[in-house]
Structure 1
């Protein structure tokens, strides 16, 4: 836990971020396992794999280790917060960079791209342009996986889910820690709805869009570029 005097920031939890997010999002371990598993169907040799908002770099390293069928794929993690840098271990075909993805030249020849709980921190005007950039730089048959916190259009459902979610967080955090984080993220995160997220993915060209993970008000979505004909368009 953070000290009573220390307010939440991503820098304040950088040293133990993997543990922090696991305690903050129920089922996060399953989500990460699912993303690693999904990667096996898309990572190709001589292509790039990108993790946007890679934090400690743990998941990207796992994806690289999992995809032995593509020994010459290149893996890049992008993270805007420099406090995560101390946890990175560069190795052959695996590198991490501190930079703003909106200004990055790492988006090219990608077979697989990931963004977990990152887009919600982008300004509305930047989301569609970045989604379009990701789509345009995926190879045919490539895939983008994103996970976001969403809100329900039904106020009663939203209140119910919020209550259950807070009960979960109280297992690991004090009331003050929960409130401090909520107040901080309120100024940073701009949540979307499930329907709007899917609509935005579709508008830039993605097809075969599928929600593959859900827990409380968090969802994981798989979207493909020109998927095979036997993959549905829903």
Structure 2
């Protein structure tokens, strides 16, 4: 299924809250590459982390899988026996395309794609859990419980890979990094109108936190190591080890 170019916010419009609907699903690969610095590196390294940390007879969960990029990276690097990848997203449009992508790949490791709220998913026998820019779309009051559930479902030595957009406590630094991110988007062809309108659409949907907040939540849940392995502007990825 061919992906198109992201032009969703290229004309003046009444701004509705951002949703992962059919229009977004059709252009998502272009949108994410042009919007998130280092996205390809994050996906590639998620695959490497799965290759290193997955365990025999275990599950790998991709929570908020969108079109399945992280699941496919995991599958390409997985070298353990009797494993299964469980990819979950609550967007029917995303899940439809994710299923097509995973079927076309013909993975040696089974990939089960579920259309459901990740809060409804039981985490069992997990050696790796991936939340790649997912937690930021959950209500803040739900975040502690989902992290606690993930920790409980991880095997000893299991890992959580958590990628998030961050805010910074220092206002000057925060604005500088936001400006650098906007310049990144300009250099990738987005207009000022597109940048402004998408920011408005995300304002009440994506509620971001500081690295310190994420670190404290993960440590409080019981993770023994929490390390930021990637950061560019206000985007980061963290690995937490049980």
* Deviation, structure 1 residue 191: 0.9
Pick from 69, 77, 81 the counterpart of residue 91 of structure 2.
81
Q: How does 1:171-186 map to 2 (within 5 A)?
A: 171=187, 172-186=189-203
* Deviation, structure 1 residue 119: 0.6
Pick from 126, 132, 142 the counterpart of residue 110 of structure 1.
126
Q: Is the 8 A contact 1:9 1:181 kept in 2?
A: no
Q: Is the 8 A contact 2:128 2:154 kept in 1?
A: yes
* Deviation, structure 1 residue 165: 1.0
Query: CA deviation digits over 1:101-145, x for unaligned, max 9?
Result: 01123x111000000111111111110000000000000010000
Q: How does 1:107-146 map to 2 (within 5 A)?
A: 107-146=123-162
* Deviation, structure 1 residue 66: 1.3
| Partner of residue 3, structure 2 | none
Aligned length: 223
Query: CA deviation digits over 1:8-30, x for unaligned, max 9?
Result: 64322212312211110111111
Gaps of 5+ in 1: 226-234
Gaps of 5+ in 2: 1-5
Q: How does 1:1-234 map to 2 (within 5 A)?
A: 1-2=6-7, 3-4=10-11, 9-11=19-21, 12-67=23-78, 69-87=79-97, 88=99, 89-90=102-103, 93-105=110-122, 107-171=123-187, 172-225=189-242
Query: CA deviation digits over 1:150-196, x for unaligned, max 9?
Result: 11110111111111111111122122211121111101011111111
